[in-house]
A and B are shown apart, each in its own frame.
Chain A
Amino acid sequence: MAKQSTAKKEIPSKQEASTTRAVTAGTSQKSAAPNLDRLIHERLRLGIISALAANPSLTFSDLKNLMNTTDGNLSVHARKLEEAGYIACTKYFDGRLPKTEYKLTAEGRRALESYLNHMESLIKQMRSS
């Protein structure tokens, strides 16, 4: 539980994400990465979004195995993405077993594409300078 609450404090909300500037190593780098989507910039959340972009849907245990993480960590980060509308969560019973299935929403796909474009433009910018 303590782990979850710590993780929550670190994670910005979607509203914050849209306005937050990238935390970069130096002052000069700050200007090079404006409006970076901090919500998916975090490694595990970026991994969840990327894995879901490559599959129509994945269950909680599929994602846990893919990301090689703990139940608590995955659920905290998945909830953040769900609250932001980037992924959709469905709960159902497979026989007697409860299952949680995640899908990438159109908004989530747009966010990933925009993040990819952002990264590519940063690389191009550095190469041209």
Chain B
Amino acid sequence: MPDMEPIRLVKPEQPEPPALHERAMDNLRYIRETMERATAFTGISGWGEVAIGATAIIASLVAARQVTFTLWLAVWVVEGTISLLIAGWSMDRKARAVQMPLVSGPGRKAVFSLSPPVIAGGLLTIVLFRAGLTNAIPGVWLLLYGTGVVTGGMFSVGVVPIMGLCFMALGAGALFAPPEFANWFMAAGFGGLHIVFGVIIARKYGG
């Protein structure tokens, strides 16, 4: 029997542990990312939504009195601008309330998720207006806004995508309902849904 070599345990080469400052940077990155994720989670301001809903109800009352579609459209464009300002201001206020300068992500996420459907809505409005299909515009707006809220709300608390689905349901209803109900659908959606869900978010998630 031939002599056998004694078995030697070969230690696999251990990779060098990361330097302390690299671990510190990694920890800081982790804290920042967690805070951004957590703020996006409840970063939507409930009271901001309520304010948007209130201005939307006023806008739907004003729009209902307009004699031409162009004036009706102008009222809602102004309302859209006011809503954007309210949303931006209220989300910024809520993010600042946590007193942590590391937070910077929630606004960016909201803008990225809502922009595509809003842009699509704007383009479709022009096309429908030119084609004389103005009756379809309220339904298209509600439907597209709902899709933006559903997709953006996937990063947020469960109530947000539910609000988006409600918008989509109202939009679908508005598309197939008689045109004289258009202002009611607009008031119920941009007014009512924002107020109802805004109160829920504000009461459950701190403002």
Contact = CB atoms under 8 A, between A and B. Distances in A.
A43 B30 contact: yes
A53 B98 contact: yes
If over half of A's interface residues share one DSSP class (helix, strand or loop), that class is named, otherwise mixed; here it is helix
A46 B34 CA distance: 9
Interface stretch (A25-33, A71-79, A81-89): A25-33
B21 A50 contact: no
Interface in A75-129: 112, 116, 118-120, 122-123, 125-127
Contact of B28 (A51, A57, A116): A116
If over half of B's interface residues share one DSSP class (helix, strand or loop), that class is named, otherwise mixed; here it is helix
Contacts of B25: 119, 123
Interface in B121-138: none
Interface stretch (B38-46, B107-115, B186-194): B38-46
Interface in B12-58: 16-21, 24-25, 27-28, 30-31, 34-39, 41-42
B206 A55 contact: yes
B103 interface: yes
Contacts, number: 86
A66 B21 contact: no
Contacts of B16: 25
A55 B42 CA distance: 7
A39 to B, nearest CB: 14
Interface residues of A, number: 31
Q: How large is the interface on B (under 10, 10 to 19, 20 to 34, 35 or more residues)?
A: 20 to 34
Nearest to A129: B21
Contacts of B31: 46, 50, 112, 116
B198 interface: no
A52 B28 CA distance: 16
Given A57-B206, A119-B28, A120-B28, A51 B20 contact: no
Interface of A: 24-26, 29, 32-33, 41, 43, 46-47, 50-58, 62, 66, 112, 116, 118-120, 122-123, 125-127
Interface of B: 16-21, 24-25, 27-28, 30-31, 34-39, 41-42, 97-98, 100, 103, 157, 205-207
